Amino acid sequence: MSRENGNCSKVVFDTEALLIFYLDEPGASKVQSYLEKVQRREINGYLSVVNLAEFVYIVQRRDAYSAEEKEKNLRAFGLEIVPVLDNNLWRVAANFKAKHALSLADAFAAATAKVKRASLAVGRDQEYKQLDISLVKLR
């Protein structure tokens, strides 16, 4: 049901996409390319606040100072941090979580993509395959 779309004007980053970039894993150059396009305002970039929290706590477990620096660096790219104020957003996330084997953070990433009508940048896509959202595969 998911659609792959490598050419998009709006992209939501899931937590794994950011970890790929900041931990210099395979696919990091693709993530960097999208982040730089966001920074140059060639595309719109989004990040759910839930995924931002997940990113920070995962990095913080490795090194608290590094987590703070990586968060500042990430914000410098100009991503729109999407809060959980919109009743539609959290309801879409809850529906995804109820019907599919997703973590709560993955459900919010997918819901943000759906609500923003954006592609979702993912490392692995297995958990998103049954959702009706466009995917950008990074590996």
In this prediction, residue 130 carries a pLDDT of 85
pLDDT digits (tens, 9 = 90+) for 52-82: 999 999 999 988 888 889 999 999 999 999 9
CB 38 within 8 A of CB 79: yes
**What total number of domains does the chain contain?**
1
| Residue 75 tokens, joined | 């914000």
DSSP 124: -
Q: Which domain holds residue 46?
A: 3-137
Q: Which residues contact 75 (CB under 8 A, 6 or more apart)?
A: 81
Here the CATH number for the domain that contains residue 114 is 3.40.50.1010
User: At 36, is the pLDDT very low, low, confident or very high (cuts 50, 70, 90)?
Assistant: very high
